[in-house]
C-alpha cells in the first residue's frame, strides 16, 4: 500500500486533489483506493491535510496516515508551519509547489524533493479565480511525474470526470503543464502503478 498526505490551506482544494488522485489511481490499475480529509476547526487559509491511499488489494485501514510514502505541499509556506514531512518514510517523496529550488527548501536529505512551479502552470492554463491561481489540479501532474504511482492519462481522465467540460479543459492543461515541467531528481523512490 502507498500513502499520500496532502498539505494545503483551507480553500486551496487539497481535499479535492486527494479525491481526484484516488480516482486516477483506480484508473491506473490500483484495486483499492481511499481519500479522506482531516478536519478540525479549519477556516479558509488555515492549514489542512487530506490523504490518499492506494493498494493492489482492498484497503481495510481507515486510520490517519502517519507514515506517508509521499507528501504533497500545495503552499511552500506550510513547510515551516505544518510539520509537513513528519513521519515521511526514508526514501519518500516530497512534491512542493514552489518557485524556489529544491535545495533551498531545507528538507531532509533522505527523501526526494521535487520542487515545481505549479502556481505558474495554473496561471498559464487560466485556472484562476478572483485573480488567484488554483493549484490543486495542476499539482496532480507533478505528483504523476514525481512518483509514477499514476499515469498522466489517468490524471487527465479523473479531472475530466470531476469538472464540467470547459473547466476540465483548463484544469487538464494546468496538470499537463506541471507534469511536463516537473524535474525529477535522483534519490528517494519512484514507483509504478503496475
Per-position DSSP letters for 181-192, written without gaps between them? H--PPSSS----
Q: What is the pLDDT of residue 22?
A: 98
Flag whether 188 is in a domain: no
What is the percent of the chain with per-residue pLDDT over 70, rounded to a whole number?
Answer: 91
- Based on the number of CB atoms within 10 Å of its own CB, is 129 exposed (0-12), middle (13-18) or buried (19 or more)? exposed
In-domain check, residue 155: yes
In-domain check, residue 186: no
Q: Please check whether residue 187 lies inside any domain of the structure.
A: no
Q: Is the pLDDT of residue 192 over 50?
A: no
The total number of structural domains in the chain stands at 1
| Residue 85: CATH number of its domain | 3.40.920.10
pTM: 0.91
Domain encompassing residue 41:
2-181
- What's the mean pLDDT in 141-155? 96
Give domain status of residue 76, yes or no. Answer: yes
Q: pLDDT tens digits, residue range 56-108?
A: 999 999 888 999 999 999 999 998 776 889 999 998 999 999 999 888 888 88
Task: Evaluate the CA torsion angle 129, 142, 4, 172 in order and state its sign.
Answer: positive
**Is 26 within a domain?**
yes
Write the Ramachandran bin of 147: left for phi over 0, alpha for psi from -120 to 50, otherwise beta: alpha
- Which residue is listed with cell 486516477? 24
Contacts of 103 (CB under 8 A, 6+ apart): 113
28 lies in some domain:
yes
For residue 12, being part of any structural domain is answered with yes
Residue 6 pLDDT grade (very low, low, confident, very high; cuts 50, 70, 90): very high
Amino acid at each position: 500500500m502507498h500513502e499520500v498526505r496532502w498539505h494545503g490551506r483551507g480553500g486551496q482544494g487539497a481535499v479535492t486533489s486527494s479525491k481526484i488522485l484516488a480516482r486516477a489511481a483506480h484508473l491506473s490499475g490500483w484495486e483499492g483506493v481511499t481519500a479522506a480529509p482531516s478536519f478540525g476547526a479549519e477556516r479558509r487559509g488555515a492549514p489542512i491535510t487530506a490523504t490518499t491511499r492506494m493498494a493492489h488489494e482492498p484497503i481495510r485501514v481507515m486510520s490517519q496516515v502517519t507514515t506517508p510514502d509521499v507528501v504533497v505541499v500545495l503552499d511552500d509556506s506550510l513547510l515551516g508551519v505544518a510539520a509537513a514531512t513528519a513521519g515521511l518514510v526514508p526514501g519518500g517523496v516530497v512534491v512542493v509547489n514552489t518557485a524556489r529550488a529544491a535545495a533551498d527548501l531545507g528538507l531532509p536529505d533522505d527523501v526526494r524533493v521535487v520542487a515545481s512551479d505549479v502556481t505558474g502552470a495554473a496561471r498559464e492554463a487560466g485556472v484562476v479565480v478572483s485573480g488567484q491561481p488554483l493549484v490543486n489540479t495542476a499539482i496532480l501532474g507533478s505528483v504523476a511525474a514525481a512518483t509514477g504511482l499514476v499515469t498522466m492519462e489517468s490524471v487527465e481522465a479523473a479531472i475530466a470526470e470531476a469538472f464540467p467540460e470547459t473547466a476540465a479543459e483548463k484544469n487538464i492543461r494546468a496538470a499537463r503543464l506541471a507534469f511536463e515541467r516537473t524535474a525529477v531528481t535522483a534519490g528517494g523512490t519512484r514507483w509504478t502503478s503496475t
